[in-house]
Structure 1
Amino acid sequence: MDPTPAEPPPGCLVLLLRLSAGMTADVVTGRGETVAVAAVRHLADELLDGLVNTLAAGYAIGAVDVAVLGYRTGPDGAPQVLSLLPDGDPKPRLVPLTHVVGMPAAPRDAEGQPKKWTVPPACGGDPCPTAALAAAYQMVSVWLTGRFAARPPVVIHCTDTAGLDAAYFRVARSLALLATGHGPVRLLHYVFEAGAEPVPLGTWAAAPEGEPWAELFRTSGDLAENPDAGKPRRRAIAVNDWDIGDPWDALFAYEWRGDTVAWTGSGGFGSSRALWVEKMGNTPEQWEDAYAVDAPGGAAAIADGASSGIYCSIWAQQLSQRFLADRPDAREPIALNKWVNGLRAEWRAAINYNNLNWSKQAKVDQVGAAATLLTLEIGPEADGERPWRAAAVGDASLFWVRGGRLLGTFPVAAADQFGSAPLLVRSNPGFRTLAVAAAGTCRPGDRFVLATDAVAARLLKSSAGPGPEWDRFETMTADDWRAELDTLRRSKDMVNDDCTLVVLCVAGAETSGGREPPEAIGEDNELEDETPLANEHASPEATGAESELEEPLASDEPPADEDASPVLLQAPAEGEAREEADVLPSAEELVEQPEPHVEPPPADAPPAARDGFPESTDPRV
């Protein structure tokens, strides 16, 4: 990838403005006394006016997409997120800055004032900052898909402190995990609080005392030094004050970050455990998820075959296993598509295409297989920390856990963001594969939980309350896990789908030292709960439950046999939930034996006579 393109890389700006009733409070800002919502609107109008004027003057600022979103709860108590741009369309969306230029902005109130580019409704309702930031997360993650070379997206949240709870900060940390080649997403907090003194951005060099101020500081992004303006590197949080030069730096100060990490052979995982079970009503042979773990190599992958395709389980297995063997840079579109294209011919060979009957060949040609894919790689340990990177096509999800506390998720931030049509990696040619990337720095003893969509949605739903007991997944029996899933499915509290969950423990000496990088938690600020999980390698006798954990690696160095096969999955006996085992059935073993060639039925034959095509989605019909 060329780190110095001829044109500036594309950019993305999301302005998130609180419109709840509390924003009618009077505040004393660095520019005088006003109402909070008026200050918020002035900030947004001033920034948009500067961008529009800069573009109109012919400066090469590159393609920039803009969203201005207002949020509050409606009369029914449900969160409302709506566009405030002056074109009259309330649908939340990103709009090219070139289109914003032509929108009907209201004239200036006075000389030196910006045009009114935002049209907010009257304030009312309650705050819903978590839902609003999750909506911004979804918008940004979709925009970043296939755009690893973009400049870091910028999210500016204008708010007061009401409702900024643990769930909000979990979404804020998740937002900062979304990555580009120029660095992570930049979240700027502008807090307008009644009774607070103005605090210009960059004033706080360390987290202030008290919540939510300390956590606001930790989850705000870092802005680079601007020598021309006399501004040092600074944390992007301000109170009752704003300087448009700061979001300007967030949008236009960036540089390419070379990746020098040795991602292979890091010995990144000390232990792993997996559980999987088929959709209720199906047989174990119809399970279409797949996963693979290479503990010495520090890599893992999970895939979810699409039920509407054919031979999707084989495709999902191929994607997860071959990722560990080939280790493509899934963040980079050219490398990812070259790798996927090479797998397509292998898949056709694996399904024995030439010996399939005519209807199955037709479905292979017209539909093919498809699967979501999530990959995770852990780098070598240095100073008690390890870098990690992940890439996702679709909605298989990663949960990053420390000491029983959920730090962040990827690539989905809320349970209501799972849909019926995620992006997929397809076996047929002619489809482009696009991924979104994440990155961070973890510590020994951290857990990464990888889950396919049905399990991930349930985990996110429960995280809105007390949250799941994450360490249970490492000790609970397969039968107990199946029983819990079946209970949730029968009560319609969980989608009836194939379910797969993989727990990975980061290898290395258990320590409570080290710091999260600025893009993950906040430089020089520790998380409150740093206690490692108790008895995480306890024996079955000590825990009272059957343990399925592998023994932790004796050291951080990979074993001498670097060509050893990754830890894979084996189908169990019918009726049992599947757990991690030594080998995975080969693709050929899951394909039926070739059938004698038969002539197709007449074209006017009823669908039921056409061997299950196209109505049936079961490739074994």
Structure 2
Amino acid sequence: MTSPGLYVTHLVAAKRGSSASECEDVVSVLPEAPFDELIEGPVAASVCDGATESVLAKDWAFVLASASAARALSEPHFFKAGPTFEEFATDVVNRWDPWLDEYACRRAAAGRPLKWYEQAKLAGSTFATMLSVRVAPSSPPDACSEAVQPIFEWRWQAAALGDSCLFHIRDDLPIRSFPIENADEFGTNPDLFGSRNRDTALLMARTRFAEGVCLPGDRLLLMSDALAAWFLAADNSITALHELLEFGGPHDASGFTDWLEKLRDRQELRNDDVALIRIDVEGR
């Protein structure tokens, strides 16, 4: 009998023509644990996709992913419109200027002080999408008798601003796609979280919230937009899923990148950075 728990792994790959350091897709998973270690829960995970057109997009995506995963792990009320989410939005925006000050100091110490035109750009906002998920054990139903073992259930909650997607998989089939359900819904101007956007009510209004229940054997897949669009457009979702599941951990990073390149060669995958978080639900 498998003990209840979660296996979590993630893979990130840069678009063709870019190095790993240039990749603007960022993930954060808490608690930090090896991919082959069973986590009793809860677990929080975030995927943030920095907008290429903005300055220091990867760095803002990192700040946003780290802050949202930490808040998601500690505060379940983060996943609904209300004061907890607004407090988070205020807090993460307030982190940006101190981060920029440290960045300027590092540049100066390295003999590369910020140029005047860089300072002008940094006075504006930097943007990223945000998908955050929390998975926590819920109380199993009462058994009808001592001979009947209750099924251990897991509750997931999600908050999405933009076009990174969560897929709830059961018996090799997606039973939920959030916040986008069809490949043709992807556009070129997704909603974005700005590093200087202090209109917390607007951010909250543009953020969508969802929740569901996982059973043992279910999987949750979090994907940034390019990979999510490929998955939703696949002629056979089972075949697409099995291709994804070939990559079980960081040791598969090279194979994952090679697979993405083949998809791009066949023009099935848009040339963009890719992030994937996989959460496997175990239990009796």
TM-score (norm 2): 0.78
Alpha-carbon offset, residue 409 of structure 1 = 0.8
2:154, 2:233 → 1: CA distance? Answer: 29
CA-to-partner distance for each residue in 1:405-458, whole Å, 9 max, x for gaps?
222211111111111110111101344313101111111231100000011111
Of 252, 257, 260 in structure 2, the residue corresponding to residue 485 of structure 1 is: 260
**Structure 1 residue 301 corresponds to structure 2 residue 46:** yes
Alpha-carbon offset, residue 321 of structure 1 = 1.3
Q: Report what 1:474 is aligned to.
A: 248
**Structure 1 residue 323 corresponds to structure 2 residue 72:** no
Which segment drifts farther, 452-461 or 353-362?
353-362
**Structure 1 residue 503 corresponds to structure 2 residue 278:** yes
- Is the contact made by 2:126 and 2:195 (CA closer than 8 Å) also made in structure 1? yes
Alpha-carbon offset, residue 464 of structure 1 = 5.1
CA-to-partner distance for each residue in 1:21-64, whole Å, 9 max, x for gaps?
xxxxxxxxxxxxxxxxxxxxxxxxxxxxxxxxxxxxxxxxxxxx
Alpha-carbon offset, residue 401 of structure 1 = 0.9
1:429–1:399 Cα change, 3 Å:
closer
2:272 match: secondary structure: coil
**Structure 1 residue 379 corresponds to structure 2 residue 143:** no
- Output aligned runs, 1:569-588, within 5 Å: none
Larger Rg, first or second structure (1 or 2): 1
Of 461, 468, 474 in structure 1, the residue corresponding to residue 233 of structure 2 is: 461
- Is the contact made by 1:388 and 1:441 (CA closer than 8 Å) also made in structure 2? yes
Q: Report what 1:285 is aligned to.
A: 21
Q: Report what 1:338 is aligned to.
A: 87
- Is the contact made by 1:385 and 1:441 (CA closer than 8 Å) also made in structure 2? yes
Q: Report what 1:442 is aligned to.
A: 214
1:496, 1:268 → 2: CA distance? Answer: 38
Alpha-carbon offset, residue 335 of structure 1 = 2.9
1:466–1:405 Cα change, 3 Å:
closer
Alpha-carbon offset, residue 463 of structure 1 = 5.4
2:61, 2:79 → 1: CA distance? Answer: 16
2:246, 2:235 → 1: CA distance? Answer: 15
Which structure is higher in strand share?
A: 2
Q: Which has the higher contact order (CA 8 A, sep 6+)?
A: 2
C-alpha RMSD of the superposition: 2.3
Residue identity matched to 1:439: E
2:47 match: secondary structure: strand
Q: Report what 2:224 is aligned to.
A: 452
Of 151, 155, 175 in structure 2, the residue corresponding to residue 407 of structure 1 is: 175
Residue identity matched to 2:55: I
1:419, 1:491 → 2: CA distance? Answer: 21
Of 270, 276, 282 in structure 1, the residue corresponding to residue 12 of structure 2 is: 276
- Is the contact made by 1:269 and 1:298 (CA closer than 8 Å) also made in structure 2? no
2:180, 2:6 → 1: CA distance? Answer: 26
- Output aligned runs, 1:42-191, within 5 Å: none
Which segment drifts farther, 338-347 or 276-285?
338-347
1:403, 1:310 → 2: CA distance? Answer: 42
- Is the contact made by 2:130 and 2:162 (CA closer than 8 Å) also made in structure 1? yes
Q: Report what 1:426 is aligned to.
A: 194
